Amino acid sequence: MAQYFQSIYEAVSTALVGMSITIKHIYRKPVTLQYPDERQVLPDRYRGFVHNDMAKCDACNICAKLCPVDCIYIESEGKGKERMMTRYAIDYNKCIWCSMCTENCHTGSITMSHDYDHSVYDRRSLVYEFMDPTEQTIPCHRATRIDTGWWVEPKEDKPKPKPKPAAEPAAEAAPVADEPAAEVKPAAPVEPSTPAEPAAPTEPSDDKGEDK
Ligand code: SF4
Ligand code: SF4
C-alpha cells in the first residue's frame, strides 16, 4: 500500500517540476528566429559573401592579384580607352573570407555583404558571375567611363593626414639623445686612471736600499 502512494507522489512531483520549468520559459524572450522569415541582425563588420557593385568597378585587377586563393576572375577585351570588362566572377568554393580584396579596392566597389545563406546542391553554382557580356560590357578606362556615365567617385583616402605625426617624433628624438649624453659624463670618473701614482712606490724601494 505504501508503494502505491509513493508512486502517486513521485508522478505528481515530477510533473510539477516539469511544469515549473515550462512556466518559467513562457515569459522569457525567445532566442530562436522563424528563419527564413526572420533574420539575425549581424554586426557591421560581419564577413558574409563578397559582393561587387559593378557600377564602381573599373577592372583594375588589384583584388584579383591580392586574393590569396585566386578565386576572383576578371576578363577584359581591348586596350586603352577601348578596354571593356567582359567578366567578373568569384568562386566561393575557394574564398576564405579574408577581406584582402575589399580592403584594397580603390573604388570601394567590392565589399563583404551580410549574406550567408547561399546553400546550393551543386558546388559549381558557387561560382558567381557578376555580369553577362551578352547584355553589357563595362568600360575600364576612366575617360570612357565618364563619357558613358559609368564613372563613380572613388572612395576617400583616409590615411592622408598620417605624415604630420611622423615629423613630431623626429623632433622629440633629439632631446632624448642629448639627455643620455649628459648622463655619460659620469663615466668621466675615468680619472682613477691616475692610479699611476701607485707606481711611485717604486721610489721607496730606493729608500730602502739606501737605508740598508
Ligand atoms: S580592386 Fe575594386 S575596382 Fe579593381 S577590379 Fe577589384 S573590385 Fe574592381
Ligand atoms: S575575401 Fe579573400 S579569398 Fe575571398 S575573394 Fe576576397 S581576397 Fe579572395
Instruction: Determine, yes or no, domain membership for 186.
Output: no
**Grid coordinates standing for 179?**
639627455
Instruction: Determine, yes or no, domain membership for 54.
Output: yes
Sole residue written with cell 567578373? 88
Nearest CA to ligand 1 atom 2: 105
Number of domains in the chain: 1
Mean pLDDT of 150-171: 64
Nearest CA to ligand 2 atom 4: 95
Give backbone dihedrals phi and psi of 6, rounded to 5 degrees, phi first: -65, -40
Closest ligand 2 atom to Cα of 112: 1
pLDDT at 205 over 90: no
Helix (H) or strand (E) holding 65: helix 62-66
Instruction: Determine, yes or no, domain membership for 45.
Output: yes
Closest ligand 2 atom to Cα of 63: 7
Nearest to 68 by CA among 48, 47, 97, 89: 97
Q: How many whole angstroms from 50 Cα to the centroid of ligand 2?
A: 8
Q: How many whole angstroms from 207 Cα to the centroid of ligand 2?
A: 93
Q: What is the reported pTM?
A: 0.64
Nearest CA to ligand 1 atom 6: 63
Which of the two residues, 153 and 83, has the higher pLDDT score? Answer: 83
Domain that includes residue 172, residue range: 30-178
